[in-house]
Amino acid sequence: MSPSHRRPSRPTFSRSPAALVETFQHAVGGMTGVTTRQMFGYPAAFVGGRMFAGLFQNSLVLKLAAEDRAELSRRGATAFEPMPSRPMGEFVVAPATLVAKPGELVPWLARAEAYVRTLGPKAKRTRKP
């Protein structure tokens, strides 16, 4: 294969720090009706089949309504872009100061969960024969 026809290299992602994983698991562990599983190799929380929070490298991300995204942005949240120029709509990276305070983090997780519940369950994909 000539150099001009090679596939672009995939970005490499680092694992989430153990302390962040523990914080996340503890925070979502007490939430009713929430399931957790891996999403792209990182812990994530779901309700009705829709992700509302998860980890990505050393960040915690939340899916929030527009007014909550604006409010959290004033506190330092940024748009979640797993790859440059590829934002994931409605997701923000929670500020580290928020993640460091479970008493403040849990209410934001609850906001994310409540917002995703308003979207209803995720439709099941049908496979083509």
The pLDDT value given to residue 71:
96
In-domain check, residue 104:
yes
pLDDT at residue 65 tops 90: yes
Q: Show the domain range for 98.
A: 15-117
The pLDDT value given to residue 2:
52
In-domain check, residue 5:
no
Distance separating alpha carbons of residues 85 and 97, to the nearest angstrom: 25
Q: Which residue type is seen at 5?
A: H
In-domain check, residue 93:
yes
Confidence bin at 68 (pLDDT 50/70/90): very high
68: helix, coil or strand? Answer: helix
16 within 8 A of 57, measured Cβ to Cβ: yes
The pLDDT value given to residue 4:
56
In-domain check, residue 2:
no
Distance separating alpha carbons of residues 13 and 119, to the nearest angstrom: 30
Domain count, the chain: 1
In-domain check, residue 113:
yes
Q: What is the mean pLDDT of residues 90-110?
A: 94
Distance separating alpha carbons of residues 25 and 28, to the nearest angstrom: 5
CATH number (domain holding residue 48): 3.30.1460.30
pLDDT at residue 3 tops 60: no
In-domain check, residue 125:
no
In-domain check, residue 59:
yes
pLDDT at residue 10 tops 70: no
